[in-house]
Structure 1
Amino acid sequence: MSIQALHRAPGRGARPALDAVHGALDGVPAEGSVLDGSVLEGAVGPAVVLGEIDRAIRRLQGLRLRVIAEADEKQVADDSGMSSTSAWVAARSRTSGADASDDVRLAVALDGELAATRSALSEGRLSTEHAKVIATTAARLPEALAATERARIETSLVAAGERIDPERLRKVARRALALAERSVEETDTHEGEQLAAEEELAWQKCRFTLRHNDDGTSTGHFTVPRTAADILKKVVQQLASPKRLAAREQERGRALGLDTRGTEHRAATVVGEIDWQQRNGQAFAEILEHLPTERLHGKVAATVVVTVEHQKLVSGLGAAGMDTGSAMSIGQVRRLACEAGILPAVLDGDSVPLDLGRTKRHFQESQRVALATAYHECAAADCDRPYAWCDLHHEKPWSRGGRTDLADAVPLCGFHHRLVHGERHQTRIHRVGNRKVVTFRRRP
Structure 2
Amino acid sequence: MAAIATVRTAPLGTVETLRRIDGLLDRLDTGDVRGGAAAALSLGEVDRLIARLQSVRLSLVAEADRSEIASGSGLTGTSAWLALSTRRDGGQAARDVRLAAALDSDLPATRAALAAGDVSTEHAHVIARATAQLPDGLSLHERAAIEGDLVRRARLVDPATLRKEGRRILSATERSRAEVDAHEDHVLRAEEEAALAKSRLTWHHNGDGTTTGHFTLPSLAAAILAKTVQQIASPRRFAQRAATVAKAAGAGTRAEVEVATWDAFRTADGDWAHRYGKAFVELLEHLPTDSLSGKVAATVVVTIDHDRLEAAVGAAHLDTGQDLSAGEVRRLACNAGILPAVLGGRSVRLDLGRQERFFTEAQRTALATRYDSCAAHGCDRPYAWSELHHEDPWSRGGRTDLAMAVPLCGHHHRRAHDGRYSHHVVTDVQGRKTVTFALRR
Q: TM-score band, normalised by the shorter chain?
A: 0.5 to 0.7
d(CA) in 1 for partners of 2:25 and 2:74?
34
Quick one: which of 47, 52, 65 aligns to 1:59? 52
CA contact (8 A) 2:80 2:90 kept: yes
CA contact (8 A) 1:77 1:84 kept: yes
Higher relative contact order (CA 8 A, sep 6+): 1
Structure 1 residues 120 and 238 mapped into 2: Cα distance closer, same or farther (>3 Å)?
A: farther
Paired residue secondary structure (2:94): helix
Quick one: which of 137, 145, 167 aligns to 1:174? 167
Paired residue secondary structure (1:83): coil
Deviation at 1:181, TM superposition (A): 2.8
Deviation at 1:165, TM superposition (A): 0.8
Paired residue secondary structure (1:293): coil
TM-score (norm 2): 0.58
Q: Which 5+ residue runs of structure 1 have no aligned equivalent?
A: 1-9, 298-444
Partner of 1:17: 17
Partner of 2:260: 263
Deviation at 1:248, TM superposition (A): 4.4
Paired residue secondary structure (2:215): strand
Partner of 1:190: 183
Quick one: which of 138, 152, 160 aligns to 1:159? 152
Partner of 2:337: none
Q: Which amino acid aligns with 1:194?
A: V
Paired residue secondary structure (1:294): coil
Deviation at 1:250, TM superposition (A): 3.5
Partner of 2:423: none
CA contact (8 A) 1:106 1:135 kept: yes
Deviation at 1:66, TM superposition (A): 1.1
Matches of residues 270-289 of structure 1 in structure 2 within 5 Å?
Answer: 275-289=271-285
Partner of 1:325: none
Deviation at 1:114, TM superposition (A): 0.3
Paired residue secondary structure (2:213): strand
Deviation at 1:210, TM superposition (A): 2.0
TM-score (norm 1): 0.58
Partner of 1:112: 105
CA contact (8 A) 1:35 1:46 kept: no
Q: How many residues align?
A: 280
Partner of 1:75: 68
Structure 1 residues 65 and 253 mapped into 2: Cα distance closer, same or farther (>3 Å)?
A: farther
CA contact (8 A) 1:69 1:104 kept: yes
Deviation at 1:163, TM superposition (A): 1.0
Deviation at 1:252, TM superposition (A): 4.9
CA contact (8 A) 1:77 1:83 kept: yes
Q: Encode CA deviations 1:6-52: one digit per residue, 9 max, x unaligned.
A: xxxx96442222212211221235xxxx3436x42xx4222111211
Q: Using the TM superposition, name which of 13-22 and 120-129 deviates more.
A: 13-22
The answer as to 2:240 corresponding to 1:243 is no
Quick one: which of 81, 84, 105 aligns to 1:88? 81
Partner of 1:150: 143
d(CA) in 2 for partners of 1:275 and 1:96?
30
Deviation at 1:255, TM superposition (A): 6.1
d(CA) in 1 for partners of 2:241 and 2:160?
34
CA contact (8 A) 1:116 1:158 kept: yes
Partner of 1:45: 38
Deviation at 1:84, TM superposition (A): 0.8
Q: Encode CA deviations 1:154-202: one digit per residue, 9 max, x unaligned.
A: 1111111111111110110000111123110000111111212222232
Q: Encode CA deviations 1:40-92: one digit per residue, 9 max, x unaligned.
A: 2xx42221112112222222222211111111111111123322100111011
Partner of 2:286: 290
d(CA) in 2 for partners of 1:206 and 1:69?
31
Q: Encode CA deviations 1:398-436: one digit per residue, 9 max, x unaligned.
A: xxxxxxxxxxxxxxxxxxxxxxxxxxxxxxxxxxxxxxx
Structure 1 residues 286 and 58 mapped into 2: Cα distance closer, same or farther (>3 Å)?
A: farther
Q: Which amino acid aligns with 1:98?
A: G
d(CA) in 2 for partners of 1:74 and 1:12?
22
Quick one: which of 217, 226, 232 aligns to 2:219? 226
d(CA) in 1 for partners of 2:115 and 2:197?
36
Structure 1 residues 188 and 71 mapped into 2: Cα distance closer, same or farther (>3 Å)?
A: same
CA contact (8 A) 2:246 2:261 kept: no
Paired residue secondary structure (2:204): strand
Partner of 1:199: 192
The answer as to 2:26 corresponding to 1:26 is yes
Question: Greater CA radius of gyration, 1 or 2?
Answer: 2
Q: Which 5+ residue runs of structure 2 have no aligned equivalent?
A: 1-9, 294-441
d(CA) in 2 for partners of 1:255 and 1:289?
28
